[in-house]
Amino acid sequence: MTIAKKIQSSIKNSSLIRKMFEEGARMKAEIGEENVFDFSLGNPNLEPPPKFKDVLLDLINDPVPGRHGYMPNAGFPETRQAVADFLSRNNRAEFASGDVVMTTGAGGALNVILKTIIDPGDEVIIPSPYFVEYNFYLDNHQGIPRIVPTKNDFSLDLAAIEDALCEKTKAVLINSPNNPTGKVYSEEELSGLGRLMEKAGKKFSRNIYLISDEPYRKIVYDGIRSPSIFDIYNESIVATSFSKDLSLPGERIGYAAINPAISERDIVSSGMILSNRILGFVNAPGLMQRAVPYLLDVSVDISPYQKNRDILCEALERFGYRFVKPQGAFYLFPETPIKDDVQFTSILKEENILTVPGSAFACPGHIRIAYCTSQKTVERSLPGFERAMRKVMKKP
Amino acid sequence: MTIAKKIQSSIKNSSLIRKMFEEGARMKAEIGEENVFDFSLGNPNLEPPPKFKDVLLDLINDPVPGRHGYMPNAGFPETRQAVADFLSRNNRAEFASGDVVMTTGAGGALNVILKTIIDPGDEVIIPSPYFVEYNFYLDNHQGIPRIVPTKNDFSLDLAAIEDALCEKTKAVLINSPNNPTGKVYSEEELSGLGRLMEKAGKKFSRNIYLISDEPYRKIVYDGIRSPSIFDIYNESIVATSFSKDLSLPGERIGYAAINPAISERDIVSSGMILSNRILGFVNAPGLMQRAVPYLLDVSVDISPYQKNRDILCEALERFGYRFVKPQGAFYLFPETPIKDDVQFTSILKEENILTVPGSAFACPGHIRIAYCTSQKTVERSLPGFERAMRKVMKKP
């Protein structure tokens, strides 16, 4: 073997989510797309809002020279300013364009942030269940994940986080609304977390950053609001994207935003701009950057997701599944009726239902159901969920 | 200080090229854009070919659902197939879609390739002068650059490369047509390099990859052709983009292509797809990927660049500058008439001419002139180049 050792072993243990996605493609080819109930990937079923198309057409027909050329690595100044203004409108703090770095999606933003702050061996505390891709993102920059399970209702276990905070902690990385649980952390939880981190920062004489990965911020139900971490903890940086609220995951457009109250604000900003450049992103895709100022207050209509959630929750509860009702995102994370979650996903696959085992989120004994599908897919899958439950319940 | 130590020190030594770019923006605001002769950045002055706009409009008006959604991490299958077909038409080898990974530009492709093959401490041989951003790209993956100067005419010094090849060598990284010299390596040079690498691979019992960074492949003059490394050396991978030949650098669209004859072809491909995902790129921007199949045989009209080259070369020779006439790309890399190249760029700046010192390419005693500007800029800059030369020639 001649490629890097780490990559060799990672290929073997490759993403369970992606494997399911590919298995799904195979099944669809075999038995027809409409007969596979694919809840494996968080690939939004809704099309982008109509305004997105109008904005793109306007931009392409607008003959500004150099619009596909290089711009500053942080992005077009007018795009950064528009995002800063949007953030100032939606948070107590006043943002400047320098606080915003346009990135290739939230995945790009997270790598830019981690590259900027992580020295080799630094620890990052992550509440679980969590998007395990974070492990790779940390490893890219020689950071170490320190996984801390959440409570049974998937809320933050502050006592456990307090125990995990140590002289090696460089950051806490949260994701709310959460993938895979749909949990939205409350203002109270986050304030508690902020107080712990402040105390630990003083104790260990170092800044501890709160990184908030929040691409699902606008996808919340029942009138709930995702609290702003900017208003809660000074040393905070947000990573986000337009992938979910505008249904654009393939276009790779997002941003990182620095709390204006952060220590060494200019240095953090310069570091992130440098990282965006040297990681090979160079800059976020130009055309999409130019569309962003027109779309900041736009969002897909999330009522179809809410409808799917309600149909699923009502039916699965009736079938005997146990779960915490999601408050946001488009994932349901029920317990599996048997201990072995991988085996239960196989049983569901016999019903042509594709889900991802909780093991893929460091939380076995669960499955993730990504309900960002058509309502028909949800409805037609229900008998399969019921049969799967009956199948395992009959066994001793 | 709380951010990563490496990033802190890199901010201080930040890119000379980018610094010049920003200095240029300041000067333009002060004395007017038309009075600053900005040759600092390889940002193409030509607009994308008209077909680009037509293709984008067609795609946006074409209501294929899910076209802004996730696709396989390697890219849309039809895009990869179209690139593979293009490569099969232009090389002796037969490419399959699996040999192509769509990336966010050549910078993304290089990071994907390096992440895939580099174990910490592995060396990569780079002929100098070279694009020093490569140092960052290697450091991202804990690789070590091994810089080997080229000959006086910027051709490969094969004897020096042979000396540098050792048991730690994982790859040789070349860039042809070259930034900053405009050199195009000949078939003979590359064959010689291939033979050396094969020999060293056998001697040290390991694959040594040839990575060819070739975004300027289509920008060549005087009927010269850039030889195909695929036809020359089996263990080869190309990184490229549409940034220069379609004038799209801000859109971040490119690809990495694996030689079909490479050892462990599937593993190299899987490794690159995984790396594209876990570095946070996830996939190349979707809309641009969809445009690619229609644009593979399209290119900007490069005659304005050739005209600029000819005007510059004729005049600078007359003024007493010494240089190797570029065969491709859009850079001229003359010797500075004084030893201190940074000082000479300051003297040129007094004439409102912005260039980059050769030190920024590990080759002091030179300047890089990026002549991807308007012809007017080139013509109006000439008196300044002449005065700068006279100024230093008068001194003892």
- Tell me the nearest-neighbour CA distance from A342 into chain B, angstroms: 22
Question: Could you tell me if A143 and A123 are in contact, meaning their C-beta atoms sit under 8 angstroms apart?
Answer: yes
**For residues A94 and A113, what is the distance between their CA atoms, to the nearest angstrom?**
21
Q: Does the model's ipTM exceed the 0.90 cut?
A: yes
What residues of chain B lie within 8 A of the CB of A131, using their CB? Answer: none
Q: For A107-122, what is each residue's pLDDT tens digit?
A: 999 999 999 999 999 9
Q: For A218-270, what is each residue's pLDDT tens digit?
A: 999 999 999 999 999 999 999 999 999 999 999 999 999 999 999 999 999 99
**For residues A145 and A169, what is the distance between their CA atoms, to the nearest angstrom?**
10
- Tell me the nearest-neighbour CA distance from A317 into chain B, angstroms: 31
A205 touches chain B (CB under 8 A): no
A387 touches chain B (CB under 8 A): no
A6-21: b (≥16 Cβ within 10 Å) or e: bbbebbeeebbbbebb
Give me the residue label for tokens 């790009």.
A108
B64 touches chain A (CB under 8 A): no
Share of chain A above pLDDT 90, in %: 90
What's the rounded mean pLDDT across residues A132-143? 96
The answer on pLDDT for B65 being more than 70 is yes
B103-121: b (≥16 Cβ within 10 Å) or e: bbbbbbbbbbbbbbbbbee
Both tokens of residue A108?
Answer: 């790009």
Mean model confidence pLDDT for chain A = 95
The answer on pLDDT for A22 being more than 80 is no
Q: Which of A295, A164, A195, A201 is closest to A241 using CA atoms?
A: A295
- Binary contact (A251, B285; C-beta < 8 A): yes
Cross-strand pairs, B255: B102, B240
The answer on pLDDT for A396 being more than 60 is no
Q: Which of B330, B239, B244, B251 is closest to B55 using CA atoms?
A: B251
Query: N- to C-terminal Cα distance for chain B?
Result: 47
What residues of chain A lie within 8 A of the CB of B68, using their CB? Answer: 47-48, 247-251
- Binary contact (A104, B133; C-beta < 8 A): no
A50 touches chain B (CB under 8 A): no
Minimum-distance CB partner of A248 among B15, B68, B207: B68
Cross-strand pairs, A145: A124
Pairing of β A169-175 and β A123-128: parallel
Vertex B102, ends B96 and B106: CA angle to 5°?
A: 120
**Cα torsion through A119, A121, A122, A127, rounded to 10:** 140
Share of chain B above pLDDT 90, in %: 89
Reported confidence tier of residue B63, pLDDT bands at 50, 70, 90: confident
A248 touches chain B (CB under 8 A): yes
Q: For A278-316, what is each residue's pLDDT tens digit?
A: 999 999 999 999 999 999 999 999 999 999 999 999 999
What residues of chain A lie within 8 A of the CB of B60, using their CB? Answer: 53, 56-57, 60
The answer on pLDDT for A21 being more than 90 is no
Minimum-distance CB partner of A108 among B71, B136, B281: B281
A14 touches chain B (CB under 8 A): yes
**For residues B272 and A11, what is the distance between their CA atoms, to the nearest angstrom?**
10
Give me the residue label for tokens 């990859």.
B209
- Binary contact (A281, B107; C-beta < 8 A): yes
- Binary contact (B57, A53; C-beta < 8 A): no
Minimum-distance CB partner of A264 among B1, B66, B104: B1
Q: For A145-180, what is each residue's pLDDT tens digit?
A: 999 999 999 999 999 999 999 999 999 999 999 999
Q: For A187-196, what is each residue's pLDDT tens digit?
A: 999 999 999 9
Q: Give the pLDDT confidence score for residue B1 in this predicted structure.
A: 58
Q: Which of A285, A263, A381, A360 is closest to A70 using CA atoms?
A: A285
**Dihedrals phi, psi of A325, to nearest 5 degrees:** -65, 125
Q: How many CB atoms lie within 10 A of CB B250?
A: 25
- Tell me the nearest-neighbour CA distance from A272 into chain B, angstroms: 9
Q: For B143-183, what is each residue's pLDDT tens digit?
A: 999 999 999 999 999 999 999 999 999 999 999 999 999 99
- DSSP per-residue letters across B311-327: HHHHHHHHHT---PPP-
B78 touches chain A (CB under 8 A): no
Q: Give the pLDDT confidence score for residue B395 in this predicted structure.
A: 61
Mean model confidence pLDDT for chain B = 95
- Tell me the nearest-neighbour CA distance from A96 into chain B, angstroms: 19
Minimum-distance CB partner of A14 among B209, B274, B285: B274
Burial of A102 (0-12, 13-18, 19+ CB in 10 A): buried
Give me the residue label for tokens 């691409």.
A215
- Binary contact (A140, B267; C-beta < 8 A): no
Chain A nearest-CA residue for B273 = A11
Question: Could you tell me if A324 and A183 are in contact, meaning their C-beta atoms sit under 8 angstroms apart?
Answer: yes
User: Cβ neighbours of residue A194 under 8 Å, at least 6 residues apart?
Assistant: A210, A229, A232, A233
- Binary contact (B119, A6; C-beta < 8 A): yes
Reported confidence tier of residue A322, pLDDT bands at 50, 70, 90: very high
- Binary contact (A271, B3; C-beta < 8 A): yes
Pairing of β B236-241 and β B209-213: parallel
**For residues A363 and A353, what is the distance between their CA atoms, to the nearest angstrom?**
20
Q: For B9-41, what is each residue's pLDDT tens digit?
A: 888 776 566 677 777 888 999 999 889 999 998
- Binary contact (A7, B111; C-beta < 8 A): no
**For residues A97 and A83, what is the distance between their CA atoms, to the nearest angstrom?**
8
- Binary contact (B271, A71; C-beta < 8 A): no
Minimum-distance CB partner of B283 among A48, A209, A250: A250
